[in-house]
Homo-oligomer: A and B are copies of this chain.
Amino acid sequence: MDGEKATPAAAPATPLALHPAVAPLSYLLGTLRGQGEGGYPTINHFSYAEELHFSHSGKKKPVIGYSENMETWLREPMHAESGYWRPKPDGTIEVVIAQSTGLAEVQKGTYNAEEKVIMLKSEIVGNASKVLHYVASQNYLVQ
């Protein structure tokens, strides 16, 4: 902690400076909305709206806050998840996510800031209901 005087901190008049580790992925920051269609062999086809939110908390934290919410077209909540993306200067990235369904997940991968491509793979998934943990092989591409 700095030794500055105890003046109350005012709301920042300018945008918060980015941590150098977060800067390459600054294009993610903000809110992304979209919609899609889903289907699995065991359930009915469904439509959904999705909102992703990426945030940061200034130059001292090498972390991107993340949340994702899915809704039906009647605005009924579906899946939700939240967590943190931790990009490293060497081009690797770790993602930790808690899911509303009771899963806790660690993903690891790499990013290419120029091409705006992030590759992630589940390394650990913890299931609160089943109390098991396993290394999953699912791959994710964020583009």
Contact = CB atoms under 8 A, between A and B. Distances in A.
A61 B76 CA distance: 9
Given A58-B77, A77-B60, A84-B102, A128 B96 contact: yes
13 contacts: A1-B46, A1-B72, A1-B73, A57-B80, A82-B82, A82-B83, A84-B100, A94-B129, A98-B104, A104-B124, A106-B126, A108-B131, A126-B126
Contacts of A95: 128
A138 B96 CA distance: 20
A126 B46 contact: no
Looking at A46, A82, A102, A104, the one whose CB has the most chain B CB atoms below 10 A away is: A104
Q: How many copies does the complex hold?
A: 2
A74 interface: yes
A104 B99 contact: no
Interface string A80-98: 1011101000000011111
A9 B106 contact: no
On chain A, which size bracket covers the interface? 35 or more
A6 B74 CA distance: 7
A63 B102 CA distance: 9
Contacts of A2: 74
Given A80-B84, A106-B104, A124 B129 contact: no
A140 B48 CA distance: 37
